[in-house]
C-alpha cells in the first residue's frame, strides 16, 4: 500500500483541489501562487499545554461537568468556551486559556472534577529558540519542497482523481487536520433549552439548530414540537399493546438514574444542613392592607419604567428592617476556626436569598444589600434574577453571599412550609399561599373578608432561642399588616 503523505502535504493537496482552475484545466495551478502562506520565517513548534481547573472562588473545591463545547481533534480559540460546570453555588462556563487543537479530554460529561485537576490537553503553536531557528528553517524548507512535490504528484491524475484521493486521505487523516468543521457545536444549548428537551423527552441531536454555529435555540425546539404535533396520530393498531402495562402481580423494578447537576448540588447542600438543629415557628399574618397598597401601586405605575409589584419585595424589605432590630439572625456561626470555641460572625449587610423554581430545578439567587435598597429596587432585582434564572444564565455572584433566605412557596401552592436552613445561615422564612378568609371586625360582631398568609420560620437552635425568633417574626408580621409603618423605619 502506498504510504500516506505527510500532514503538510495533505494541507497543500486540499488547497490545490479547491481552486477553480481544476474544473477546466488538466493540471493544477502553480502551487506557489496560493500556498506561500504555509512558509514560515521561523520553524513551528507544536507543544501541548494542559488546561487545569482553576479556583472559581467561594470555597468551591469541586464541580460537575454539565456539558462539553468541544471534542478531541477540534480547533479552539483562546477565551472560547470549553465546557459548562455546576458547583454547589452556581453554573459556570469555563473558557480556554490557549488557542490550538484539542488533543485529549480528561473527564466525561457528569464527571466530578477537583480544583487543580487536568481538564484538557491543547496542542498549541509556538516559536523555537533563536539558536535553533536557522537549522530548522533549512529543514523546514526542504520538507516544504518535498510536500509540494508530493502534492503535485497526487494532482497529476486530473481533478476528479485528485478529489477522490483527497477524500480518502481525509477519512484516514487525524481529525485535527480536517478542513471541514468537526461538528463540535452540534450539541450546544443553554441549560434552559436542555430543560425543555428533557421535559419533552427529546434528543438534541435530532433537532436542527439555527443559532450561531448550529446552536439549538428554544425556537428550534418549539418548531420541532409543532412539526411533530402536525403529523397524523398513530392508528389504534399501532398503539403500544396492553401487554406493556404492568400486571397486577408484576414485580417491582428499579432503574438507576443520575442526579442532575442542580440535584447533586442540592443533595450536598441539604446534607450539610442536616447538621443544623432546626426548630419551627409559624403564625398567620393579615395582609389585607398590604394587598390594597399593592393594588394601588400597580394601578398607578408606568409599565415602561416601574416593575409590577408582587408581595415578595415587601416581605423581603420587612425581613431586612426586622434584622436591624435582631442582627443575630443575619450572623454566621463559625465552628471550623476553633471547634472547641465556636463564635458568631456578625454581618451588617443584608444579602437575602430568594428560593426560585426554574427549568433546571430549585436555585437560590441573592439580592445584595437589601438594607440599602428601596422596595422598587428590590422588585427590579427580583425581576432581573428571575429572567436570568429562567434562561439558566445566573452567574456565581448572583448565587453566593446570602445571609438569610426567603422562600415563597405560596406562588405554587400550600399554606404551611417547614423550610430547611441553608448552611452558613441561621434562619429561613417560608411564606404560604395568600387566601381570603372571613374574620371578625374590630367590634367583634360583624364579619368581613381578609387576605391572610401563613409565615413559617426555621432557625438554628444552637444559638437562636424560640423567644428571639418569635420576636423577630412579630416585627416582620407588624410591617406586613401595617405596611405604612415600614416608611417610618426606612433609613
Q: List the grid coordinates of 285.
A: 399574618
Residue 454's SS3 state is strand
What is the C-alpha separation between 262 and 107, in angstroms, rounded? 19
Residue 67's SS3 state is strand
What is the C-alpha separation between 124 and 120, in angstroms, rounded? 12
What is the C-alpha separation between 34 and 18, in angstroms, rounded? 11
DSSP string of 131-194, one letter each residue: HHHHHHHHHHHHHHHHHHHHHHHHHTT-HHHHHHHHHHHHHHS-GGG-SS---TTTT---HHHH
- Measured CA to CA in angstroms, residue 435 lies from 260, 355, 430, 453, 454 at distances of 35, 21, 15, 7, 10
In the numeric block, the cell 477522490 is attached to: 164
Could you confirm whether 338 is annotated as catalytic?
no
CB 402 within 8 A of CB 363: no
What is the C-alpha separation between 378 and 366, in angstroms, rounded? 11
Residue 46's SS3 state is strand
Could you confirm whether 465 is annotated as catalytic?
yes
Q: What is the tally of helices (H) and strands (E) in the chain? A: 11, 18
Other residues' Cβ atoms within 10 Å of the Cβ of residue 424: 18
For the CA atoms of 304, 305, 307, 313, the dihedral, rounded to the nearest 10 degrees, stands at 180
What is the C-alpha separation between 330 and 341, in angstroms, rounded? 20
- Measured CA to CA in angstroms, residue 411 lies from 52, 90, 330, 381 at distances of 42, 24, 25, 18
What is the C-alpha separation between 429 and 459, in angstroms, rounded? 9
Q: What is the separation of C-alpha 458 from the centre of its chain, rounded to a whole number of angstroms?
A: 29
277, 274, 279: which is closest to 458 by C-alpha?
A: 279
Q: What is the chain's length? A: 491
452, 421, 62: which is closest to 269 by C-alpha?
A: 421
From 38, 117, 461, 489, active-site residue: 461
CB 163 within 8 A of CB 17: yes
CB 120 within 8 A of CB 73: no
CB 298 within 8 A of CB 308: yes
Tell me which residues are annotated as active site: 461, 465
Amino acid at each position: 500500500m502506498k504510504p500516506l503523505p505527510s500532514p503538510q502535504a495533505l494541507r497543500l493537496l486540499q488547497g490545490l483541489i479547491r481552486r477553480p482552475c481544476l474544473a477546466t484545466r488538466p493540471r493544477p495551478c502553480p502551487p506557489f501562487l496560493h500556498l506561500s502562506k504555509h512558509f514560515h520565517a521561523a520553524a513551528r513548534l507544536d507543544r501541548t499545554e494542559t488546561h487545569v481547573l482553576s479556583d472559581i472562588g467561594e470555597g468551591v473545591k469541586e464541580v460537575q461537568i454539565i456539558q462539553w463545547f468541544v471534542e478531541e481533534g477540534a480547533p479552539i480559540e483562546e477565551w472560547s468556551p470549553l465546557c459548562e460546570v455546576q458547583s454547589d453555588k452556581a453554573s459556570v462556563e469555563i473558557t480556554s486559556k490557549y488557542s490550538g487543537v484539542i488533543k485529549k479530554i480528561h473527564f466525561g460529561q457528569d464527571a466530578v472534577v477537583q480544583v487543580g485537576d487536568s481538564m484538557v490537553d491543547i496542542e498549541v503553536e509556538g516559536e523555537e529558540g533563536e539558536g535553533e531557528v536557522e537549522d530548522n528553517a533549512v529543514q523546514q524548507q526542504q520538507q516544504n519542497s518535498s510536500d509540494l512535490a508530493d502534492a503535485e504528484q497526487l494532482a497529476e491524475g486530473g481533478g476528479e482523481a485528485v478529489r477522490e484521493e483527497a477524500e480518502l486521505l481525509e477519512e484516514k487523516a487525524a481529525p485535527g487536520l480536517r478542513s471541514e468543521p468537526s461538528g463540535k457545536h452540534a450539541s450546544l444549548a443553554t441549560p434552559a433549552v436542555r430543560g425543555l428537551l428533557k421535559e419533552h423527552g427529546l434528543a438534541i441531536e435530532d433537532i436542527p439548530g439555527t443559532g450561531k454555529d448550529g446552536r439549538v435555540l428554544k425556537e428550534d425546539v418549539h418548531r420541532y414540537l409543532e412539526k411533530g404535533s402536525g403529523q397524523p396520530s398513530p392508528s389504534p393498531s399501532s398503539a403500544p399493546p396492553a401487554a406493556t402495562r404492568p400486571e397486577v402481580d408484576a414485580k417491582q423494578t428499579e432503574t438507576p438514574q443520575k442526579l442532575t447537576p442542580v440535584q447533586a448540588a442540592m443533595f450536598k447542600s441539604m446534607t450539610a444542613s442536616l447538621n443544623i438543629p432546626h426548630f419551627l415557628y409559624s403564625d398567620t399574618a393579615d395582609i389585607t392592607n398590604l394587598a390594597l397598597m399593592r393594588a394601588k401601586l400597580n394601578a398607578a405605575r408606568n409599565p415602561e419604567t416601574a416593575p409590577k409589584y408582587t408581595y415578595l419585595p415587601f416581605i423581603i424589605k420587612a425581613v431586612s428592617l426586622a434584622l436591624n432590630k435582631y442582627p443575630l439572625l443575619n450572623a454566621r456561626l463559625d465552628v471550623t476556626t476553633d471547634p472547641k470555641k465556636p463564635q458568631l460572625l456578625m454581618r451588617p449587610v443584608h444579602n437575602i436569598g430568594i428560593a426560585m423554581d426554574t427549568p433546571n430545578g430549585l436555585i437560590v439567587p441573592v439580592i445584595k444589600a437589601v438594607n440599602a435598597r428601596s422596595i422598587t429596587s428590590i422588585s427590579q432585582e427580583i425581576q432581573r434574577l428571575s429572567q436570568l434564572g429562567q434562561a439558566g444564565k445566573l452567574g456565581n455572584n448572583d448565587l453566593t453571599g446570602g445571609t438569610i433566605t426567603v422562600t415563597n412557596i405560596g406562588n405554587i401552592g400550600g399554606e404551611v412550609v417547614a423550610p430547611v436552613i441553608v448552611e452558613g445561615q441561621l434562619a429561613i422564612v417560608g411564606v404560604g399561599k395568600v387566601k381570603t378568609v372571613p374574620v371578625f371586625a374590630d367590634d367583634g360582631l360583624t364579619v368581613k373578608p381578609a387576605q391572610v398568609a401563613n409565615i413559617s420560620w426555621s432557625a438554628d437552635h444552637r444559638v437562636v432561642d424560640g423567644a428571639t425568633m418569635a420576636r423577630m417574626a412579630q416585627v416582620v408580621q407588624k410591617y406586613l399588616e401595617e405596611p405604612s409603618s415600614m416608611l417610618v423605619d426606612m433609613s
